[in-house]
Amino acid sequence: MAENKVKKVTVNTTINGQEMDILIDPYVSLLETLREVVGITGTKEGCNDGNCGACTVNLDGRIVDSCLVLGVEAEGKNIETVEGMASPDGLHPLQQAFLEEAALQCGICTPGFLVSAKALLDNEPDPSEERIRHWLAGNLCRCTGYDKIVKAVTKASKESK
Amino acid sequence: MHPFNYYAPETVNEAIEILNKYGDKAKCLAGGTDVLVQARGEKFELDAIVDIKKIPQLTKLEWTDSHLIVGAATPCHVLYEDSKVCEVFPGIVDSAFLIGGIQIQSRASLGGNLCNASPSADAICSLIVHEVICEIAGPKGTREIPVEDMCTGPGKNALTNGEFLVSLKIPLKNSEFSASYERFIPRNEMDIAVAAVASSIELSNGKVSSCRVALAAVGPTPIFAKEASELLVGKEPTDENIRKVSEKAKDIASPIADMRGTIEHRKDLIEVLTRRTIEKALERAGG
């Protein structure tokens, strides 16, 4: 069979509030697009098959594993990554709580946990512990364990009230 | 990953044209939670991926007089966040709520889960016990098949070249119908079923007027356990009668032993889960 000719595609998207046009191969993931084309590396690659949640980003208000989204699917969408969480005034309450509760060790899973937890608290300011654990089931941590992470999310939810 | 082109057709006919042109070198993209993993793992080499989410009817729910029509690419969260779907079809919601985690549920669809045809798929048994009809579009027009005829082997479905699944038609039943789906996994979330069962029950004057039981992860495809289901029809749903159904379901299960479980364990699970899902369906149906 003749070689499949693949053309790069221009994608217009908004990342952390900034609208941009990017030129990408149609088969690359949103994760690769963010890290290697846009050059923001806060979003991490863990398993690259939708199990670990390290690459979680917010796509039009819903969290997704960016390794399982094509970059071209970002056309016309609004994407928020961990880079969009802190403001010039300081860290997001969740980031602050993760530091205070020591809810990380190696840190690879942290951006994913933060983006997931933010999506929860944006919609449900006072979730139960069970709800937090259920919501974060798609994010894996292999060093700290989950208690400190759940504590940090609970703390952030109480403080932002 | 083998380089592929991306198409996002806005009509069913456009999609058929592209799928037909590329044949087995093209796949549909709904949520991508299976197809992108497989393309990356080089299970197949794709020249084209056809994003079907821009076709309006593929991502919407429509209630008619006789059916709930679920667009094949509708993500799971749309189902469990819809209060009417939760009220009318809690058995469908059972499945939609436990496919992957929240991230996966933002994207994964029941239609994709069905077309992926995994023996352990969480949605397929629920679709079978709801007597769902698959609406398939292709170069020769549209056709409808019962959902239990869709899976033809592990990872294989009944779609032919140029065809794709457009929607799932869930028949509306009377108020004394309900269903339930349960699976066994060694953890609470985010795992693949060791064994799973969906059951549906419809009551009429205290007796079971229809019953369907379907089994997952205990055969090359999800299994419609017809002979077990029939044992309850026309009978009262007593513990003894339910026990006969669950024993028959255990007989029908023909699992393999693998890293997830042994044959004996899986068969025992089928018996327990059949009983529990029938009891749950009865409770929901108000029986």
Q: With 90 as the cut, is the pLDDT of residue A35 above it?
A: yes
As a whole number of angstroms, the distance between CA B216 and CA B185 comes to 12
pLDDT range class, residue B189, cuts 50, 70, 90? confident
Tell me the chain B residues in contact with residue A137 when contact means C-beta distances shorter than 8 Å: 101-102, 188-190
Alpha carbon dihedral A98, A103, A107, A111, in 10-degree steps, equals -50
Q: What pLDDT does B93 receive? A: 98
The whole-angstrom separation of Cα A109 and Cα A140 is 7
Among B47, B100, B103, the residue with its CB nearest the CB of A4 is B47
The size of chain B, in residues, is: 287
For residue A44, the chain B residues in CB contact (below 8 A) are: none
Examine the pLDDT at A161 and tell me if it is beyond 70: no
The arithmetic mean of pLDDT across residues B46-72, rounded, is: 98
Percent of chain A having pLDDT more than 70?
A: 98
Structure confidence at residue A3 (pLDDT): 67
Residue pair B46/B39 in contact (Cβ under 8 Å)? The answer is yes
- The per-residue pLDDT for A2 is 55
CB B231 within 8 A of CB B247: no
Task: Please check whether residue B85 is in contact with residue B60, taking contact to mean a CB–CB distance below 8 angstroms.
Answer: no
Mutation target vs B (from A1, A3, A4; most B CBs, 10 A cutoff):
A4
Task: Test B6 with A72 for CB contact under 8 angstroms.
Answer: yes
Average pLDDT, chain A: 95
Q: Domains of chain B, with CATH numbers? A: 5-52+59-171 (3.30.465.10), 177-285 (3.30.390.50)
CA distance B237 to B203: 9
DSSP-assigned beta bridge partners for residue B204: B207
Q: What is the least distance, in Å, from the CA of A80 to any CA of chain B?
A: 14
Instruction: Count CB neighbours of B163 within 10 A.
Output: 20
Lowest mean pLDDT among A138-147, B110-119, B137-146: A138-147
Average pLDDT on B199-209 reads 95
Q: Where do the domains of chain A lie, and which CATH numbers do they carry?
A: 9-83 (3.10.20.30), 93-159 (1.10.150.120)
CA distance B79 to B60: 10
How far from B254 is each of A41, B216, B262, B268, B271, CA to CA, in Å? 47, 10, 11, 12, 13
Cβ contact, residue pair B6, A59, below 8 Å: no
Longest dimension (CA), chain B: 60
pLDDT at A105 over 80: yes
How confident is residue B129, by pLDDT bands cut at 50, 70 and 90? very high
The answer to whether ipTM exceeds 0.85 is yes
- Residues of chain B with Cβ-Cβ distance to A79 below 8 Å are none
Q: Residue B118's closest CA among B29, B219, B269?
A: B219
For residue B37, pLDDT over 80 is answered with yes
Give the model's confidence band at B190: pLDDT under 50 very low, under 70 low, under 90 confident, else very high.
confident
Structure token digits, residue A134: 């259920």
Beta bridge partners of B6: B49
What value does the mean pLDDT take over residues B13-20?
Answer: 98
Amino acid at the residue A141:
C
